[in-house]
A and B are shown apart, each in its own frame.
Chain A
Amino acid sequence: MANHSATHPKHVHHHFVDSNQQFESAKLGMWVFLVNEILFFGGLFCAYIVFRAWYPELFTQAALELNTFWGAVNTVVLIGSSLTVAMAIRSAQNNQKRGLEINLLITILLACVFLVIKYFEYEHKLHLGIAPGSFWNPTPEIAAVLDHPKANIFFGIYYMMTAVHGLHVIIGIVLMVWLYLRARKGHFNSEYYTPVEITGLYWHLVDLIWIFLFPLLYLIE
């Protein structure tokens, strides 16, 4: 454990030959992890495809209950946060401590905005009795519009997909706060910014999945 020689920089773990090998390993590891994230969501997308093929009219009908405006706002918010996280990486590469901190903070802020909007969307749905599974108890007006016997299946899938995605956003926020605290202590510079880079990769995937969820759930005609 304590075998660090003078030539070994502090951030390089004992089992790596050099900083570069560590960086490349971390990056490859994150890419492999992202592949399995895609397959994780792939199961949900697969369920979506099956049920949309079975009940196409249900999906077009039920999608009208989703608020396209706020969905679109959330899409813009997340794309914006992807930009700021990319800028954060750039700042770290250029040794701009201040830029790194600010960009991370903006990213955290945008992620929180996304969650708040999502919260109000959920809140509104639950208020109307559009709840998942056995809690399904729509108000008479909603029931009149959504007169499909399997209507709860669409929302079952909707809640599963957005909740699992929301969980990923929360994990992203936690990671970003951790990065921010480390950035403030000056842990990152052009020599070492691996955590910023791989968290950025993760964040882009979270963003990308939303970009698929938004049209699939909100924009069905």
Chain B
Amino acid sequence: MASLSKTENTAQITPKKLKVKRFVPLENPINTYLTDEKGIWAWLTTVDHKKIGLMYLGAVAFFFALAGFLAIALRTELWTPAKTFIEADTYNQLFTLHGAMMVFFVLVPSIPAALGNFILPMQLGAKDVAFPRLNLASFYIYAFGAIFTFLSLANNGFDTGWTFYTPYSSDTNSAGIIWVTLGVFILGFSSILTGTNFITTIHKLRAPGISWDRLPLNVWALYATSIIQVLATPVLAITILLLAMENILDIGIFDPALGGDPVLYQHFFWFYSHPAVYIMIVPGFGIISEVITTFSKKTIFGYWAIALSSLAIAFIGFLVWGHHMFTSGQSAVATTIFSFLTFLVGIPTGIKIFNWVATLYRGSISMKTPMLYVFIFIFLFSIGGFTGIMLGALSVDIHLHDTYYVVAHFHYVMMGGTLIALLAGLHYWWPKMTGKMYNEPLAKTAAIFIFIGFNVTFLPQFIMGAQGMPRRYYNYIDQFTPFHQTSTIGSYILAVGFLVILFYLVHSLIKGQKAGPNPWNSRGLEWQSNSPPDFHNFSHTPVVIHGPYDYHQPMEEFQLGLAVDHEYGDEQDKVAAEAHASSATETTEA
């Protein structure tokens, strides 16, 4: 605990004893993390959290494009009730691949590993995450897991659905299932390492003055996410390992023919995979909290309510996995309890929504692209959340289980929630990451395309699901044709939206206007650095004397603080800090 007291010590004495100067970030930084080391090799071996975050972002975007392309193929196949252009077996493999890639390669790492990696240390005023080399390792483990998944495609592929339910998955002769389970097993380590890294970083690497009640809500959300990652992922790892052993050696734990229990597999699987949807959505909540205050120019409403509801979701999320198994033959008592507990998750989520709306109330709202995505998020995620409550209701679920209603619900929370939040965060932090602005009108157009395309795709699925259209089916009866065709058209509109995004983001990299350090006038710590930030994020150790959402003070009075004479910093930092201090506009004795 010695270091803790030391850090606290610094936090206490710095604002009082040391001369605190206002730090003014440079308008046109020359030395940035992008110019620090150049060349492919420097990128591949970097331990800088910002570069690793960008590498993750690239990988996630790649897999999203790939899995999205599969989705378009699937929707096209469903244009007619019978075969349209792909075979039934291929169809089974494609929807499995779409689900597995979107869940394990896109949604799980998207916000924490890509955006979180970049932003978390900056919001803490740290130079890096606690274990930078582990961070790089986690990226390569992720890439390695991806290679295994592709190897499975070369070995007959897999068509079990992304849930790998036994006994089909343990009996199928396809070698692909072994490769993909190993891939997911490896991928789990990447997730665990990121979680471990983040928890340690948040506990130990906060800059002086960042007490737990000054943590940005994005950090609280990532903290809750990391806890779930560390507690849930190892259970998936052992489950997947047992599944692979079942398939290779027939050890008889999950296979009913050998005396095993397939429902045990489902318990194990959902013990991870239900909390896993909170791994995907909770960091999205963090982004929404950040964006909504910045663009309302108003202190967040209910800071502690939002912070603690993230932890509450993490906790309750571990107790509800049985609601995936209402029809699997678990006991009636367990089913009832799980149904009741599922309703409880709605409470902290509702608390968040209400607090966000209350933050908007009488704020001075500027409708920039990130804010547009926040509104889309609130709209879509509310629909996703409410339909989730309906699925958690026991009697309703018996009817809706394994229908398109579930598919629509899942896409409303995961795509309408996580992915839209990711887009909000991406547009919000893009100027910080690249130092460039994107084309605002084009960005808004794309957002509207995505909003319309999304609803056209997934609203009909609620209706046909309620009418009994089962999920994962290759053929369907004629009465569902209009719904399927509407849904397919919607997916094309969605695709156009994403292509527009791709276009203007690439354009912004090449020809984008300089963003300046703080284009949104945010009070967040990460915005008080240069854009793009330099290698150590801040050229000084920031001393935080304000909360992250102090919008009630005018920007001129808002001070981040800067300790010129801090005793721990690097020599170069000191030099840089003094250089900056000379350009500072004012000096105060705090």
**A156 is an interface residue with CB less than 8 A from chain B:** yes
Given contacts A25-B130, A29-B200, A153-B259, contact A5 B249 (CB under 8 A): no
Whether B205 pairs with A43 at a CB distance below 8 angstroms is no
Which of B22-30, B346-354, B567-575 forms contacts with chain A?
B567-575
Contact B234 A36 (CB under 8 A): yes
Given A3, A36, A159, which contacts B573 in the complex, CB threshold below 8 Å?
A3
Chain B residues touching A, majority SS: helix
Find out whether the CB atom of B242 lies under 8 angstroms from the CB atom of A135: no
Contact across chains for B237 and A150 when beta carbons are under 8 A apart: no
Q: Which of A5, A16, A156, A159 contacts B572 (CB 8 A)?
A: A5
Q: Does B250 contact A (CB under 8 A)?
A: yes
For A148, give the chain B residue with the smallest CB separation: B259
User: Chain B residues near A159 (CB, 8 Å)?
Assistant: 251
Question: Total interface residues on A, using CB and 8 Å?
Answer: 51
The stretch from A7-15, A109-117, A205-213 touching chain B is A7-15
Chain A positions within 8 Å of B552 at CB level: none
Contact A20 B6 (CB under 8 A): yes
Comparing B149-157, B191-199, B295-303, the segment that makes contact with chain A is B191-199
0/1 string, A33-48, CB within 8 A of B gives 1: 1011101111110110
Please give, as numbers and ranges, the residues of chain A lying within 8 Å of B130 by CB-CB distance: 25, 29
On whether the beta carbons of A29 and B568 are closer than 8 Å, the reply is no
Inter-subunit contact A8/B570 (CB<8 Å): yes
> B231 contacts A39, CB within 8 Å?
yes
Given contacts A35-B231, A39-B234, contact A4 B199 (CB under 8 A): no
Whether A47 contacts B204 by the Cβ 8 Å rule is: no
In the complex, A46 Cα to B493 Cα: how many Å?
47
A17 beta carbon closer than 8 Å to chain B: yes
Closest Cβ neighbor of B264 among chain A residues:
A50
Report the Cα distance A43→B127, complex, angstroms. 37
Determine if B468 is an interface residue (Cβ-Cβ < 8 Å).
no
CA distance in complex: A7, B571 (Å): 9
CA distance A54 to B550 in the complex (A): 59
Q: In this assembly, does B86 line the interface, its C-beta being within 8 Å of a C-beta of chain A?
A: no
Contact, CB under 8 Å: A135 / B196: no
Which chain B residues border A35 with CB–CB below 8 Å? 230-231
Contact A15 B204 (CB under 8 A): no
A43 partner, pick from B2, B235, B251, B258, beta carbons under 8 A: B235
Query: Nearest Cβ in chain A — how far from B65, in angstroms?
Result: 31
Contact B230 A152 (CB under 8 A): no
The residue that B252 contacts in the complex, of A26, A39, A156, with Cβ under 8 A, is A156
Q: Inside 8 A of A171's CB, which chain B residues have their CB?
A: none
Interface residues of B in 227-245 (CB under 8 A from A): 230-235, 237-239, 241-242, 245
Contact indicator A6/B251 (Cβ below 8 Å): no
- B571 contact set on A, CB distance < 8 A: 3, 5-7
Asked if B553 lies at the interface with its beta carbon under 8 angstroms from chain A, I say no
Shortest C-beta distance, B274 to chain A (Å), equals 15
Given A28-B199, A150-B259 in contact, is the A134-B7 Cβ separation under 8 Å? no
B234 touches A156 (CB 8 A): no
Interface: B489 (CB within 8 A): no
Q: Which residue of B is nearest A41, CB measured?
A: B238
Contact partners of B238 in chain A: CB under 8 A: 40-44, 164
A3 contact set on B, CB distance < 8 A = 536, 570-573
Q: How far is the CA of A36 from the CA of B570 in the complex (A)?
A: 35
A40 touches B235 (CB 8 A): yes
* B3 x A20 contact (CB < 8 A): yes
Which residue among B7, B129, B204, B241 has the maximum number of chain A CB atoms within 10 Å of its CB?
A: B204
| Contacting pair B250 A28 (CB below 8 A) | no
**B96-144: which residues lie under 8 A (CB-CB) from chain A?**
126-132, 134
Q: Which residues of the other chain, B, contact A139 by a CB distance below 8 angstroms? A: none
Contact B261 A14 (CB under 8 A): no
| B260 in the interface (beta carbon within 8 A) | yes
User: Given known contacts A21-B204, A43-B234, is B242 in contact with A160 (CB within 8 Å)?
Assistant: yes
In the bound assembly, the distance between CA atoms of A24 and B2 in angstroms comes to 8
A87 CB to closest chain B CB (Å) equals 23
Residues of B within 8 A of A15 (CB): 126-129, 132, 205, 536
Is the Cβ of A153 less than 8 Å from the Cβ of B251?
yes
Cβ of B249: which chain A residues have Cβ within 8 Å of it?
132-135, 156
Taken together as a complex, chains A and B put the C-alpha atoms of A91 and B497 apart, in Å, by 63
B3 A23 Cβ-Cβ under 8 A: yes
**A140: Cβ under 8 A from any B Cβ:** no
A18 within 8 A of B: yes
Contact check, A13 vs B132: say whether CB atoms are below 8 A apart: yes
Pair A21/B205 contact, Cβ less than 8 Å: yes
Q: Provide the residues of chain B in CB contact with A41, threshold 8 Å.
A: 238
Report the nearest B residue to A18, measured CB to CB.
B568
Chain A residues in 8 Å Cβ range of B231: 35-36, 39
- A132-152: which residues lie under 8 A (CB-CB) from chain B? 132-135, 149-150, 152
Per the bound structure, the CA–CA distance linking A200 and B560 in Å amounts to 41
Report chain B residues within 8 Å CB of A29. Answer: 130-131, 134, 196-197, 199-200
Given A36-B234, A153-B258, A160-B251 contact (CB < 8 Å) = yes
> Could you say which residues of chain A place their CB within 8 Å of the CB of B259?
55, 149-150, 153
The docked-state distance in angstroms from the alpha carbon of A206 to that of B235 is 18
Q: Which of A4, A23, A24 has the most CB of B within 10 A?
A: A24
If A25-B205, A153-B258 touch, whether A18 touches B252 (CB-CB below 8 Å) is: no
Q: Which of B2, B233, B261, B264 contacts A20 (CB 8 A)?
A: B2
Interface assignment of B63: CB less than 8 Å from any CB of chain A:
no
| Chain B minimum-CB-distance residue to A43 | B238
Q: Indicate if A119 sits at the interface (CB-CB under 8 A).
A: no
Contact of A150 among B126, B205, B233, B252 (CB under 8 A): B252
Cβ of B17 within 8 Å of any chain A Cβ, yes or no, is: no
CB contacts (< 8 Å) of A50 on chain B: these are 261, 264
Residues of B close to A18: CB separation below 8 A: 3, 6, 568
A157 touches B253 (CB 8 A): yes
> Judging by beta carbons under 8 Å apart, are B192 and A43 in contact?
no
Find residues 90-134 in chain A having any chain B CB closer than 8 Å to their own CB. Answer: 132-134
Are A24's CB and B253's CB within 8 A?
A: no
Chain B: which residue is nearest A152 at the CB level? B252
Residue B66 lies at the interface, judged by CB distance under 8 Å to chain A: no
B199–A152 CB distance below 8 A: no
Q: Chain A residues near B260: list those with CB within 8 A.
A: 153
Q: Enumerate chain A residues within 8 angstroms of B250, measured Cβ to Cβ.
A: 133-134
* B200 pairs with A28, CB closer than 8 A: yes
Interface mask (B186-221 → A, CB under 8 Å = 1, otherwise 0): 000000100111011101110000000000000000
Determine how close the nearest CB of chain A comes to the CB of B372; give it in whole angstroms. 36
19 contacts between A and B (CB under 8 A): A3-B573, A7-B571, A15-B127, A15-B128, A15-B129, A16-B205, A20-B6, A29-B134, A29-B197, A29-B200, A32-B230, A36-B195, A37-B234, A39-B234, A40-B234, A42-B235, A132-B245, A133-B248, A133-B250
Apart from the given pairs A39-B231, A50-B261, 20 other A-B contacts in the complex at a CB distance below 8 Å: A3-B572, A14-B536, A14-B570, A18-B3, A18-B568, A25-B130, A25-B131, A25-B205, A28-B203, A37-B234, A40-B237, A40-B238, A42-B235, A50-B264, A132-B245, A133-B248, A133-B249, A149-B259, A152-B258, A153-B253
Task: List 4 A-B pairs, minimum CB-CB distance, nearest first.
Answer: A156-B251, A133-B249, A43-B238, A5-B571
